[in-house]
């Protein structure tokens, strides 16, 4: 691995951020400082923590940041479900499938880092 930018999980995280920004731009204005802000913050945290962890000196530190990214992903998934229940997005919105795809890849990468 040359840099974090070579990691598929980082690339998917950046794509997820883009999707979250696009979807939340259609939310009601009263959600600007609550759900929109929280969803964007959680989404941004995912690739950011992957990048920060990749820049660390040890696999132990890298794993810590990967787990933080995983936690942010779970937080975002919860917020997407809430947004769906509030009818801000469709239940079949692509974001839920995307979060599941990223979760699987992130968990597999965590296993890989643990075993090297």
Domains of the chain, by residue range, sit at: 4-25+40-114
How is 6-50 classified by DSSP, letter by letter? G-HHHHHHHHHHHHHHHHHTTS-GGGTTTHHHHHHHHHHHHHHHH
pTM score, whole prediction:
0.95
pLDDT per residue as tens digits for the range 58-81:
999 999 999 999 999 999 999 999
4-25+40-114: CATH number: 1.20.1440.60
Residue 45 pLDDT class (50, 70, 90 cuts): very high
Structure tokens at 73: 């992903």
| Cα–Cα distance measured from residue 89 to residue 76, given in angstroms and rounded to the nearest whole number | 14
pLDDT of residue 90: 87
- CA separation for the pair 65, 62 (Å, rounded): 5
């Amino acid at each position: 691995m040359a840099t974090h930018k070579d990691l598929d999980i980082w690339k998917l995280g950046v794509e997820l951020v883009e999707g979250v920004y696009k979807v939340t731009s259609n939310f009601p204005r009263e959600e600007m400082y609550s759900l929109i802000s929280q969803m964007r913050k959680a989404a941004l945290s995912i690739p950011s923590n992957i990048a920060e962890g990749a820049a660390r000196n040890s696999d132990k530190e890298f794993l810590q940041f990967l787990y933080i990214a995983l936690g942010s992903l779970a937080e975002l998934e919860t917020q997407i479900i809430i947004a769906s229940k509030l009818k801000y997005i469709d239940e079949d919105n692509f974001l839920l499938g995307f979060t599941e795809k990223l979760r699987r890849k992130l968990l597999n990468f965590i296993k890989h880092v643990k075993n090297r």
